[in-house]
Amino acid sequence: MDVTVPFEQRAMLEEIRRFGENEIGPVADEFDRAEEYPAAIMDEAAEIGLLGSRFPVEYGGAGDVDDFDAQRFYRDKDHPAL
């Protein structure tokens, strides 16, 4: 069984890491303390395709992420908070 992560998935994982480290990490505590929803950050995440990955394209999602890949993105062992 080949468990090698395809290039496209590695690229998506890297984009998720980059976004988390650069956009979410620096302000996460501030939003938590203020109990505010980070609307601008979520809008940016949506614009670059990080939201709705499991929804069909006709509903605004990527439509090409199966359950296995979604779990890989959501449970990245090197970045458990992302």
CB 70 within 8 A of CB 54: yes
Length of the chain: 82
Higher pLDDT, 21 or 48: 21
Question: What single DSSP character describes residue 80?
Answer: T
1 pLDDT tier (thresholds 50, 70, 90)? low
pLDDT computed for residue 82 by the predictor:
44
Ordered domains of the chain (ranges, CATH):
25-82 (1.10.540.10)
End-to-end CA distance of the chain: 28
> Average pLDDT for residues 31-58, to the nearest whole number?
86
